[in-house]
Structure 1
């Protein structure tokens, strides 16, 4: 180990118990954390985030329209929609021979939170032009 590298642990055990306990009391329980992590994983893929962004803009879309909007094969879009549905970020309903998808309230909130403040120039990429 290089002695000039910072170490991420304290050299002394010091615990401000009242402060630590007040924070610990606000941390969600394990089940809530697991559900939130699953939802976050739902949008951790660029294809799923693209689908969620399209649903946020279009309110409700069938798989065919969604595939055209995001420019990907229908089978791939359908696969990602299932993953979004499993993460409770998307709901679906049958309309005749079509299956219509829309973001759940949680899906809207998480998609907005993930996309808020994203600066494409800072990410080193120009935005795609259609």
Structure 2
């Protein structure tokens, strides 16, 4: 006997149909999965968080903030843009990035409020608090 399956067929059809009617469609689920995967990378999560705090930043600023190369930041920004979580615009020779509404919503759902620590306050991590 498999612990993860029912031992008998016990379909509650009205309830199951009500849930099915409300379930996200396959295409929308695919889009959401791509977006979730884009934020599933720690580097992209940090870049998105920097965009959230800085509103609109050029690749150079994002590279400085995250202490990563411009080429790597540019690549990850492209992934966020392709997933619909970031938007870019060219300003002369600069490329400026910002989070889209979808990017703001998903980042808030994943990371919660991103408030910078107050000046002089000690920053603790879960490991340090144990």
Tell me, yes or no, whether TM beats 0.5.
yes
Higher helix share: 2
The structure 2 residue matched to 1:29, chosen from 13, 25, 29, is 25
Give the C-alpha shift of residue 111 in structure 1.
Answer: 0.6
1:47 equivalent to 2:70? Answer: no
1:78 equivalent to 2:36? Answer: no
The structure 1 residue matched to 2:97, chosen from 87, 101, 110, is 101
> Alignment RMSD, CA only?
2.2
Give the C-alpha shift of residue 73 in structure 1.
Answer: 1.0
TM-score, normalised by the number of residues in structure 1:
0.86
Residues paired across the two proteins, number: 120
Give the C-alpha shift of residue 125 in structure 1.
Answer: 7.0
Show CA shifts across 1:38-97 (max 9, x none): 111110100000000000000000000000111111111111001001101010011111
After superposing on structure 2, the runs of 4+ consecutive aligned residues of structure 1 that deviate more than 3 Å are none
The structure 2 residue matched to 1:12, chosen from 3, 8, 27, is 8
**Cα distance change on mapping 1:17 and 1:36 into 2, 3 Å:** same
Gaps of 5+ in 2: 114-123
Gaps of 5+ in 1: none
**Cα distance change on mapping 1:28 and 1:76 into 2, 3 Å:** same
The structure 2 residue matched to 1:61, chosen from 57, 60, 85, is 57
SS at match of 1:28: coil
**Cα distance change on mapping 1:125 and 1:87 into 2, 3 Å:** farther
| Partner Cα separation in structure 2 for residue 16 and residue 22 of structure 1 | 10
TM-score, normalised by the number of residues in structure 2:
0.86
